[in-house]
Structure 1
């Protein structure tokens, strides 16, 4: 029997998940199919119930259903509970559904693949939305020296910092408080860079040897990564490796096999570049 998996979202046409999991299945010799399904707002629970009733083994969840998936799961992993959102559902042998959030660990694995060290580093995160909430626990488990969150709406950053301060030195800062501060790692967790927008960051924000990571990705470097290169960042990376990394973690949860991510990232990068230059 071929095992069934899918990604649920709205919109869903752009999803690269089927492509990624096809790579993983071929690489590891797994008998599985993976499709994408457009789900109508308000109908997530019905669609997920039907998928698992028909023998589906696992789902990836993308925008805007990560909170619906959180509510749908019978059990949650500690990191999903912390994130308050679920991007992976897995059918268990007893028929229950486990909810996990693999976004943060996907990003950490990508940084490790890049050779970036997080222990004892000063980390700054731009943004305080759901994407950032999903990465905070895995980030803090790496024991950075400190972690600061800056967001357009300062209250949101403060709420987030308060939710996670038991895991480490986490604080919310206002944009103007960045003056005179330096960071070893700056992560952009907002989608603003996709629209060519960037907050006014101080010119001397990056410490010597600093790295910059954009959770968004595209065929060309985002405006945030262009800023990073112009301001002396030693390493820059976009979120394509995180996308493949979170998929690999979901694949491991489902199949107990850890696929190789680097060949898949390389293949996808080439594909994006080819499309862009046609």
Structure 2
């Protein structure tokens, strides 16, 4: 049996146990997956206790992804470039850190939504940890360029420079966004959490695919995108399920069929 968990604080809202129970039933893998509330200052102790009790892997959510990066004794390329870990696999004394967020986003866009990212102009709003986690997998799809816009322009510029070896990137302040359509806009800011919409030109959304990393509700960004003639408006539920599927495969070697699970969870919400 695979003893697995998700660590976070808060954690009660997490859909991960539900998703992984569906994966287990679908693939026939014997899994026990629990939610674990880790004290803010005791992630390492909580993780070690879980491993000592037979834990073979765990997911990590807010606010412990940096702690998990430091906890891992070995890291994948995705984790190393993201500077954060959301999945750990335990192999003996080795804890392998992975970041499945970007893979989850790309799989949702390409497999579930049928979007070819090659030769596309992608605008990402925000330059925090969420953006850092998705940049490498996006750039590996060979878009024309990925533009990063942020309130503090220097943060966007630095992040773009950090990833310039993987593809064409540029960074600038939100006020520099042109009123000219792009192919894809990804909202990776915390504005949706706060129920706010950034001040950006409406014309950039015309005909664009607009994707909010948030899920579970219609966000101000999604409403703005619809009003301004986006060709497609999507929330982050598919990314949530796809990043979980990548973690499940990382642990068990089994690849779940995600489409039906996304549909089931969406129907429940």
The alignment's TM-score, normalised by the length of structure 1, stands at: 0.94
Correspondent of 2:107 among 83, 106, 109: 109
For 1:6 and 1:176, locate their aligned partners in 2 and report how far apart those are by CA, in whole Å: 42
Any residues of structure 2 matched to 1:99-248 within 5 Å, and which? Answer: 99-112=97-110, 113-206=112-205, 208=207, 210-218=208-216, 220-248=217-245
Q: CA deviation at 1:35?
A: 0.2
Structure 2 SS opposite 1:193: coil
Distance 1:180 1:270 in 2: 36
Indicate conservation of the 8 Å contact 1:214/1:237, yes or no: yes
Partner of 1:276: none
- Partner Cα separation in structure 1 for residue 117 and residue 175 of structure 2: 25
TM alignment of 1:41-52, pairs within 5 A: 41-52=40-51
Aligned-residue offset at 1:176: 2.2
Is 1:260 the counterpart of 2:261? The answer is: no
RMSD: 1.1
SS of the equivalent of 2:192 reads: helix
Counterpart-to-counterpart distance in 1, 2:124 and 2:238: 18
Unmatched segments (≥5 aa) in structure 2: none
* Cα separation, 2, equivalents of 1:98 and 1:17: 20
Q: Judge conservation of contact 1:101–1:134 (CA < 8 Å) in 2.
A: yes
Q: How many angstroms does 1:206 deviate by? A: 2.9
Cα separation, 2, equivalents of 1:226 and 1:190: 15
| Number of residues of Structure 1 aligned to a counterpart in Structure 2 | 268
Normalised TM-score (structure 2)? 0.97
Question: Does the 8 A contact of 1:184 with 1:207 survive in 2?
Answer: no
Q: Structure 1 regions of 5+ residues with no counterpart? A: 273-278
